[in-house]
Structure 1
């Protein structure tokens, strides 16, 4: 008869559970480069200050200056028009001079602008300050998104943007609750705290974050400033991207009502005070914090555009509910539906844009995609204000639901017809990266498949008379004794992040093997220097890595 096994002590199961949670968190942390987590932390600090202020911005304007929602719409119109020029400038400078400096400049300008708005005492001056805010503070948006794309491989970008949304909304969980308390005492405190957090973040970025833009190789021709801005015409000729942006405009026009008109509607129609509205926004943020990352992981196998369709339909249902319901629990229920849609749409949309954009044009693609927010921001609050001030306020939410249905239909049509083969190429690249990470492909097999996908992409670009500028990473291994080249491998730059972020081994030939950690260090050194780098391996071989653009002859061969 066997001896009975001792039962676990009451504390052992929780201990193992805690250890398992810590191990899972450590595993998630190790999936992404350290620089990405540094960027995430800095973004959290800045977001915390903005989360105190922005949800109560419309309430502040209507209360302090004794104006209606139409005047609030004018303020957002000024923000949007000036922000349009700011974003275009930021996108071009991001591609030309880099990401880090643009982010710091935008944070400092945002800090000064927030303080200025808090000290203004008349509406006309506030309108002028709003123009300055939009002109200067939005310049960093394209740089921030481009830096995330620089740091993460294609198949990790949706998850990376999802992580950013988690920390953003963690700030939003804290922000509205604390902001509601502070706003009941003094709105000026909100502006002061927003200023402080922006300055702290600027200092943190200066000290802790390195530049991620790949410097041009020595002797490589650089664009003039005029050519950089002309690159926007290349972006607009990308039909798949343009249609995606138009569909996004309708979705954003609906979504932004949550942060501009919903608070005033609930206050004026249903008597909901600032603190109760803070609870509604806190529910939204708490759901994102708890469920965004697991949801983003689970939707990875699905086609990105179909995820956009599902999320936008949930938007339509959730916003329409506000036109029907009249109790606080149902207000919360409507926000639950909206938040589920948000957790599908937001990270996937950003990943789609960065995956469509060539590496050297990421800033300009992200800036152009900003039109999908800028234009709705210009007209959305104004149109909503006209409805709230002059018509039945419930009509606003029925109109929002219609916009959601129209946006979902456009995403579906885009998947089925417009640029369908373009989306197929993106899906193929994502599948290659996923299979490589899971060990189902060797590095050489992945490189070969990516080369096929890239060639198909360049063929499409040639058909559209868009000159491709494919860049690759050349890995050359030669004997240290004779200098004879044993093998040479060309890798698309998109594959580089696999080496930087995974533990795969690169087998260069039957005799020479390079340790993954040393290879990642070498690649990082070569890219950051904008030139070549080399190391001596234990197998008496020299590995040289350098970046190069494929010549025009190679492209057309």
Structure 2
């Protein structure tokens, strides 16, 4: 067992493990805070979910602007520089929010927080693509997913415990985690921007921004981003809306909500490998469609159920959908991206989370404040069905154009079974098992 662990460890560069470790620390702080942010805002400022949705939309607008700038600046100035800047901004704003009493001031601070904090997102994704060779990229992103879910297992439970005593502690812990991550990044992790890009004639910022035209012309990638955004519109309700709905409609405590979110992460950590081994032989886009159908069932259930055990059952169903869909996205995006445009591709991929933030929570807030709040979950089921249809149609469109996009096994499986990976060449597992997004 220990020999296998050592062998798997040695297959990845040291810098990869350091990035994975720092990501865990940073994500732990985020998962302690974020599931409870809507509860904090409604309690602190005595506002309804429509205004909370407006705040999330402001964050989304800041994230979109920051992500676009961050993608271009990442390709120009380097991954490490932009990551450090984003961590510093994120930690600082977490402390600032504690002292804000005015809702109007909060709007401006939230906008700045979203903009500055999101500058680092494309940089970290590009750094992982730099560090990992193509044949290890899917496994590497899979390991990062495991570290994120380990943080998500611990974070919400700890956050629920802290929130029951002091919301302020949530912001302090998040700031501390950003600070620790920043120090490790500064002293331990080197710049990973490819040498060829550094030796070339430097792009101006205008030229870097102009590179987004190439990304937007990549129709397969952009359709994937669009349908993924619809999927994320549904999934985001678990972070921004579900806690308030369960509290107000069913008197569900913050501690129990922390356990509910931790169930999601715990299932991913325990069952992801097992499930992935059984779905890897199927077309990726079709599996994403299947996952969205399961999403629709899980989220839709919240509109019909009213007991605590069934709340956990619905979350378990949602998690199965997540385990089917989530592992593919980052790998597909990373391998679409040319080396010199990785930051920009990753920035556009961030839209799948930003667009739902702009419209998802505010839409849910309008429903909850003005109509029967159960309609949030009915619409979630409908949108999940539309996303499933979108992935299935994209699969058919790419197949009919006779252009294959091959991806490796979507999460960490036994790395000794993995032989090759590229965007154009079908992947082989167990020496003769061929897997493609389409076939």
Give the TM-score taking structure 2 as reference length: 0.90
- Flag the 1:298–1:210 CA change in 2: closer, same or farther, 3 A: farther
Q: 1:101: which partner in 2?
A: 81
Q: 1:311: which partner in 2?
A: 291
| CA distance, structure 1, for counterparts of residue 362 and residue 268 of structure 2 | 29
Matches within 5 A, 1:112-511: 112-216=92-196, 220-418=200-398, 421=401, 424-427=404-407, 453=424
Distance apart, 1:302 and its partner CA: 3.4
Higher helix fraction: Structure 1 or Structure 2? Answer: 2
| Residues paired across the two proteins, number | 422
Of 26-35 and 259-268, the range deviating more from structure 2: 26-35
Distance apart, 1:164 and its partner CA: 1.5
Q: 1:543: which partner in 2?
A: none
Q: 2:432: which partner in 1?
A: none
| CA distance, structure 2, for counterparts of residue 34 and residue 404 of structure 1 | 39
Helix, strand or coil for the counterpart of 1:325?
Answer: coil
| CA distance, structure 2, for counterparts of residue 263 and residue 422 of structure 1 | 45
Contact 1:415–1:423 (CA under 8 A) maintained in structure 2 = no
Distance apart, 1:403 and its partner CA: 0.6
Distance apart, 1:298 and its partner CA: 4.7
Give the TM-score taking structure 1 as reference length: 0.72
Helix, strand or coil for the counterpart of 1:121?
Answer: coil
Distance apart, 1:301 and its partner CA: 3.8
| CA distance, structure 2, for counterparts of residue 218 and residue 262 of structure 1 | 46
Contact 1:236–1:242 (CA under 8 A) maintained in structure 2 = yes
Helix, strand or coil for the counterpart of 1:426?
Answer: coil
- Flag the 1:148–1:293 CA change in 2: closer, same or farther, 3 A: farther
Distance apart, 1:26 and its partner CA: 2.6
- Flag the 1:211–1:314 CA change in 2: closer, same or farther, 3 A: same
Q: Tell which structure's C-alpha radius of gyration is larger.
A: 1
| CA distance, structure 2, for counterparts of residue 302 and residue 212 of structure 1 | 34
The structure whose RCO (Cα within 8 Å, separation 6+) is larger is: 2
- Flag the 1:210–1:299 CA change in 2: closer, same or farther, 3 A: farther
Instruction: Supply the RMSD in Å over aligned alpha carbons.
Output: 2.4
Distance apart, 1:282 and its partner CA: 1.0
1:423-458 per-residue CA deviation (whole Å, 9 max, x = no partner) reads 51435x99xxx9x976979xxxx9xxx79x59xxxx
Contact 1:159–1:347 (CA under 8 A) maintained in structure 2 = no
Q: 1:62: which partner in 2?
A: 42
Unmatched segments (≥5 aa) in structure 1: 1-19, 455-557
Contact 1:103–1:143 (CA under 8 A) maintained in structure 2 = yes
- Flag the 1:288–1:161 CA change in 2: closer, same or farther, 3 A: same
| CA distance, structure 2, for counterparts of residue 127 and residue 83 of structure 1 | 14
- Flag the 1:218–1:197 CA change in 2: closer, same or farther, 3 A: closer
Helix, strand or coil for the counterpart of 1:326?
Answer: coil
- Flag the 1:219–1:160 CA change in 2: closer, same or farther, 3 A: closer
1:111-131 per-residue CA deviation (whole Å, 9 max, x = no partner) reads 001001112122111112111
Contact 1:119–1:188 (CA under 8 A) maintained in structure 2 = no
